[in-house]
């Protein structure tokens, strides 16, 4: 009788021990922890950043450039000719944002897309962010000078490689390619460029920001000047404010890259600011 009991206990306990062993050997999947975006704002003076908001977020953007600081009676450019862009964007998913903007100069209407391809992880298995930004822009100026509707269009494509080094330091590099369907004979329809920028938070919520863009191609005439900007950024949970000096007045990326005629280091710059607010 005791033998039957031992056999019964063995048959009952053995499968349970196997099940327990199987559960012990099964490794639960590790959830990927992403690093916070390298930049607080979606823009860095005259360029885009890696920042893509979570699904359902609406962002309002205002970019403003005063006139050139000429040293004359123009109140450091405030009374000069200004340029302004108003825009909205919407996060379709946690990685894809679409938007629309309207710019005063040349009445530019831009449709844009930003996509987070790779995100930096906290364990550094992915050591950087890779983000795509592109826009399709139409010049809505009066009809004179445009023979076909397609003449009004320009396009911009950029890959943004960024890294959050620490809580206070972030940087990015960004190659880009601009195309205009119609240009003057003195220049070409296309321009490759390279941008670099960084952010250093020296006190809580306030950072020093720098942004530079250089064209990589030369024209026989009217080769555009490199863009450069430096300033301060105040950032909070749902908004950011940037105040800076820059020699790029176009605001829309391809216009700055293809047509910038101001030399920052020759004293040709203007005061500008960017405001972003998200809901």
∠ CA(62), CA(192), CA(87), 5° rounding? Answer: 15
> Mind listing the pLDDT tens digit of every residue in the chain (279 residues)?
454 454 444 444 444 554 455 544 555 566 889 999 999 999 999 999 999 999 999 999 999 999 998 777 677 778 778 999 999 999 999 999 999 999 999 999 999 999 999 999 999 999 999 999 999 999 998 877 777 888 899 999 999 999 999 999 999 999 999 999 998 888 899 999 999 999 999 999 999 999 999 999 988 777 899 999 999 999 988 899 999 999 999 999 999 999 999 999 999 999 999 999 999
Cα–Cα distance, 61 to 65 (Å, whole number) = 14
Burial code (b: 16+ CB inside 10 Å, e: under 16) for 56-91 equals: eeebebebbbbbbbeeeeeeebeebebbebebebeb
Q: What is the pTM of this model?
A: 0.86
For residue 248, CA distances in Å to 63, 83, 273 come to 12, 11, 12
What structural domains and CATH numbers belong to the chain? Answer: 28-278 (2.40.160.40)
């Amino acid at each position: 009788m005791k033998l039957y009991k031992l056999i019964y206990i063995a048959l009952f306990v053995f499968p349970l021990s196997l099940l327990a062993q199987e559960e012990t050997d099964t490794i639960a999947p590790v959830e990927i922890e992403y690093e916070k975006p390298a930049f607080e704002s979606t823009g860095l003076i005259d360029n885009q950043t890696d920042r893509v908001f979570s699904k359902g977020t609406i962002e309002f953007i205002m970019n403003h450039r005063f006139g050139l600081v000429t040293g004359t009676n123009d109140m450091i450019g405030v009374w000069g000719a200004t340029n302004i862009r108003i825009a909205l964007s919407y996060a379709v998913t946690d990685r894809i944002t679409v938007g629309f903007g309207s710019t005063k100069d040349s009445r530019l209407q831009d449709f844009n897309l930003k996509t987070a391809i790779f995100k930096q992880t906290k364990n550094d298995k992915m050591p950087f962010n890779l983000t795509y930004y592109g826009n399709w822009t139409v010049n809505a100026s009066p009809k004179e000078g445009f023979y076909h509707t397609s003449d009004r269009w320009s396009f911009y494509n950029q890959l943004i490689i960024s890294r959050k080094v620490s809580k206070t330091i972030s940087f990015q590099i960004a190659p880009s390619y601009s195309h205009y369907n119609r240009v003057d004979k003195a220049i070409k329809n296309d321009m490759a460029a390279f941008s670099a920028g960084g952010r250093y938070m020296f006190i809580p919520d306030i950072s020093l920001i720098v942004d530079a863009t250089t064209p990589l191609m030369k024209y026989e005439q009217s080769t555009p000047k490199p863009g450069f900007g430096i300033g301060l950024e105040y950032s909070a949970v749902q908004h950011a404010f940037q105040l800076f000096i820059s020699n790029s007045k176009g605001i829309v990326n391809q216009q700055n890259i293809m047509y910038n005629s101001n030399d920052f280091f020759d004293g040709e710059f203007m005061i500008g600011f960017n405001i972003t607010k998200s809901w």
